[in-house]
Structure 1
Amino acid sequence: MDSADVPPVLIIDDEPHLRITTGQTLELAGYAPQAHESAESALAALPEDFPGVVISDIRMPGMDGMALLAEIRQRDPDLPVILITGHGDISTAVEAMRQGAWDFLEKPFAGERLVEMVRRGIDKRRLSLENRRLKAELEAQQGAPGPRLVGRTPAMQQLAAMVQRISRVEADVLLFGETGTGKDLVARALHARSTRGEGPFVAINCGAVPESIIESELFGHEKGAFTGALERRIGKFEYANGGTVFLDEIESMPLALQVKLLRVLQERCIERLGANEPVALDIRVIAATKVDLKAAAEAGDFREDLYYRLNVVTLPIPPLRERREDIPLLFQHFALVAGNRSDLEAPPLDAAGISTLLAHDWPGNVRELRNLAERYVLLGAAYDYRLEALLEGATPDNGGLPLPQQVELFEKSLISQALISQRGSVPGACEQLGLPRKTLYDKLKKYGLRAEEYRH
């Protein structure tokens, strides 16, 4: 067994026979005990982000268990510490819990109780470190190139590769996808990964701006250009100079304004309302639509010449129901983000939760999933973390998949979630899933999963 896969447990006790018996009990249970006779030597050997738990006797010469607890809490308040107390020493145990101990054991204690306590502590530690890792990753992304496109399905891998490739060129882009699929996220990723990443990103929802003022919003106006124009105003296009303009719901743009947009795309200049001098633009335009613009052009609802001008590079964004294998991963990602934002820990998904997520049709796509994950973190305890209650009676729909395919999808998602929760540990995933090692390896091969990819 790879030692990296075995959760470590730090044991501190000045009595050799207790160190030995505790260590043997934990080793038989599948853990890696590390025994120390003093708190000082244990602290010297305790690494940052220690992935296990600490077990310590309270009464020891030199630094005792309470002083050790205080020092560990100062270094890492999320590290579970289990203290061992003497018989009848309840007041000390209460004080230890008050000062932040994970739990306590009263001598003599049963090996089964020790193992169960360590198991729960390891689970808590794993979740804390995962939250910490994600928080650090999110903070690092503030200066990194663009938002993450989360997903392991071929459709998302292809989309991520296309975003990386297209971001390097100056071509305008048309994003096509249903409501809630993440068109805004893809547009921001394209901008951030491009040479314009340091410039402004100006998003305009063409369907939300009143038709009476949209021309002024986009192109700006001079003082006195119309009643109420009391001063010069810079429009969105001009404000975006050196950066990117994102035109969301471009199918909602009035036909008369589409003519002027076509000129902007061709000549890269605008004229403010009431002005005669053109203003040169250095911008990239990313447009997004949820309708078939070619069909809209044929029906007379969208200018055909503008459609062909926008259609230089088109990126289709798949709906969530077409990449169901990504649903548990995305849900966990959104839950961890919500947990970090609200300082709450997101409970891990169980089999029933995964089944509920995979059975839903997700008409609102990724946006609906993100909202559900946030409700799960903020309100889940009120419903005992039952996702079906939080979905509020939404009708299950398996997307017309045959039963064998549904079963395979569910099984693959369970294995993937187990590997995520065990950080790529095959023995840990075997224990969580109740599978023999060979059976799990066979299923990993069948579904094209690689345990090492889950260790980072």
Structure 2
Amino acid sequence: MTDKIKILIADDDPVLLKLLPAQLSAEDLLISVTESGKSVIEALKKEVFDVILLDVNLPDISGVEVLSKIRQTDNSPEVVMLTADKSLQTGVETMRLGAYDYVTKPAESEHVEVVIRKAAEKRRLVKRNKQLQIAVQQQNESSVVKPVFASPVMEQIYAQAERVADLDTTLLITGESGTGKDVFAHWIHSLGSRSESPLISVNCGALPENLFESEFFGYEKGAFTGAGKQKIGLIEASDGSTLFLDEIGEMPMTMQVKLLHFLENGAFRRVGSTQDRSVDVR
């Protein structure tokens, strides 16, 4: 599992859009560029960014207005404002409106990179906090105790679990009711590289069919009556972690087909959206 920082730079200066990405050349920085406020909003519908460098004065929409729209979204990226105003007033005002920080142009690329990395770390912590909140609501164990068993067969099974713990492939766990499939899933998660993030568990058999898509995939603002705000689903909340689908065989077949598309392609679409999104979920 790689830990890349996805950055979007929005500025109407073509020289800056060419020069700054070349200077920010670290391998873990994935940079996209755009020249307008509307294109920023459209880009956020298609991709998930960690940090946006946003010019205050864009040609079509004010950067402050774009910032306001970004802060209204769920799972929003951190925003660093770019301004040519050397006074503190503009930068402080944008931070009051939700920007992580501001950079006065022209700026040294080393300084810009430091600000980007601090902003990305804040977003990582915010995302981790949301995952923890979901895990607490589900009453997940805060720590995993190694299962106790005496059967040679179980010894072989848990040895196999240790071998696959660091793989990112989807695993199917089968067994009779009461044999500890959930314990087994938590044990595998605890051994792998994703263990720093809480495992998200879903009882598929208890999920009403009419809520399946909105709970799993999330939805856009206005997607249906009552959808007053964009909401990320369980799949997106599990980004960087493990999603345990308990009792998946109890799901109606129509729901299984929709879920299979995500498991096969790693892509999903929020309710009310026309754009596919991808996440790093095991």
Counterparts of 1:111 and 1:168 in 2: how far apart (Å)?
57
Contact 1:26 1:32 in 2 (8 A): no
1:168 corresponds to 2:178: yes
- Tell me the residue number matched to 1:33: 31
Q: Mind listing any 5+ residue stretches in structure 1 that lack a counterpart?
A: 170-185, 191-324, 335-421, 425-453
CA drift at 1:23: 1.3
Report if aligned partners of 1:23, 1:33 keep a CA contact under 8 Å in 2.
yes
1:132-147 superposed matches below 5 A: 132-139=130-137, 141=138, 147=140
CA contact (8 A) 1:85 1:93 kept: yes
1:27-176 to structure 2, matched below 5 A, reads 27-28=25-26, 30-47=28-45, 50-76=48-74, 78-139=76-137, 141=138, 147-148=140-141, 150-151=143-144, 168=178
Partner Cα separation in structure 2 for residue 128 and residue 98 of structure 1: 18
Structure 1 residues 151 and 39, CA, compared in 2 at 3 Å: closer, same or farther? same
The AA in structure 2 aligned to 1:113 is: H
Q: Which has the higher contact order (CA 8 A, sep 6+)?
A: 2
1:66-91: per-residue Cα shift (whole Å, max 9, x none)?
01110101114752100011142321
Q: Which amino acid aligns with 2:8?
A: L
Q: CA–CA distance in 2 between the matches of 1:31 and 1:332?
A: 22
What is the CA–CA distance in structure 1 between the aligned matches of 2:20 and 2:146, rounded to whole Å?
A: 45
Rounded to whole Å, the distance in 2 between the matches of 1:149 and 1:92 is 43
Deviations 1:103-155 (A, max 9, x none): 0001111111000111111111122222223434555x47xxxx558538576
* Count of residue correspondences: 184
Evaluate the alpha carbon distance shift between residue 330 and residue 57 of structure 1 in structure 2; reply closer, same or farther with a 3 A threshold.
closer
C-alpha spacing 1:331/1:133, structure 2 compared with 1 (3 Å) = closer
C-alpha contact (below 8 Å) 1:81/1:102 kept by paired residues: yes
Relative distance call for 1:12 and 1:149 in structure 2 (3 A) is closer
Q: Name the SS of the counterpart of 1:27 in structure 2.
A: coil
Q: Say if 1:51 and 1:126, in contact at 8 Å, map to a contact too.
A: no
Alignment of 1:376-455 (within 5 A): 423=240
2:12 is matched with which residue?
A: 14
Paired residue type of 1:33: I
SS in 2 for 1:75: coil
Opposite residue 57 of structure 2, the aligned amino acid is R
Alpha-carbon distance in structure 2 between the residues aligned to 1:155 and 1:6: 38
Distance in 1 (CA, whole Å) between partners of 2:31 and 2:59 is 22
Change (3 A) 1:155 1:129: farther
Classify 1:153/1:122 alpha carbon distance in 2 versus 1 (closer, same or farther; 3 Å).
farther
- Structure 2: unaligned runs, 5 residues or longer: 150-156, 162-173, 184-189, 200-238, 242-279
> How far, CA to CA, are the matches of 2:73 and 2:82 in structure 1?
21
Counterpart-to-counterpart distance in 2, 1:165 and 1:30: 41
Deviation at residue 100 of structure 1 after TM alignment: 1.0
Per the alignment, do residues 331 and 120 of structure 1 end up closer, same or farther by CA in structure 2, a change over 3 Å counting? closer
| 1:293-330 deviation per Cα after TM superposition (whole angstroms, max 9, x unaligned) | xxxxxxxxxxxxxxxxxxxxxxxxxxxxxxxx97xx98
Q: Who is 1:255 aligned against?
A: none
Instruction: Give the Cα separation in 1 of the matches to 2:146 and 2:35.
Output: 50
Contact 1:69–1:101 (8 Å) recurs in 2? yes
Contact persistence 2:7–2:51 (CA under 8 A): yes
In the other structure, the counterpart of 1:278 is: none
Rounded to whole Å, the distance in 2 between the matches of 1:88 and 1:73 is 25
> Deviations for 1:208-247, whole angstroms, at most 9, x for unmatched residues?
xxxxxxxxxxxxxxxxxxxxxxxxxxxxxxxxxxxxxxxx
Following TM superposition, by how much is the alpha carbon of 1:42 offset from its aligned partner in structure 2, in angstroms? 1.5
Q: Is the 8 A contact 2:128 2:197 kept in 1?
A: no
Distance, in Å, in 2 between the alignment partners of 1:33 and 1:16 is: 15
Deviation at 1:24, TM superposition (A): 1.4
- Partner amino acid, structure 1, of 2:65: A
Shift of 1:423: 4.4
Contact 1:11 1:36 in 2 (8 A): yes
1:87/1:108 contact within 8 Å kept: no
Larger radius of gyration: 1
Q: What is the CA–CA distance in structure 2 between the aligned matches of 1:7 and 1:332, rounded to whole Å?
A: 17
| Larger displacement relative to structure 2 (93-102 or 43-52) | 43-52
Fraction of identical pairs, as percent: 27
Give, in whole Å, the separation in 1 of the partners of 2:75 and 2:240: 21
> 1:72 and 1:65, CA in 2 relative to 1: closer, same or farther beyond 3 A?
same
| In structure 2, C-alpha distance between the alignment counterparts of 1:152 and 1:25, rounded to whole Å | 47
Q: Tell me the TM-score normalised to structure 1 length.
A: 0.33
Q: Give the direction of change, closer, same or farther, for the CA distance of 1:114–1:155 in structure 2 (3 Å limit).
A: farther
The structure with more helix, counted as a fraction of residues = 1
Q: Residue by residue, what CA displacement relative to the aligned partner does 1:355-381 show, whole Å, maximum 9, x if unpaired?
A: xxxxxxxxxxxxxxxxxxxxxxxxxxx
**2:69 aligned counterpart, secondary structure:** helix
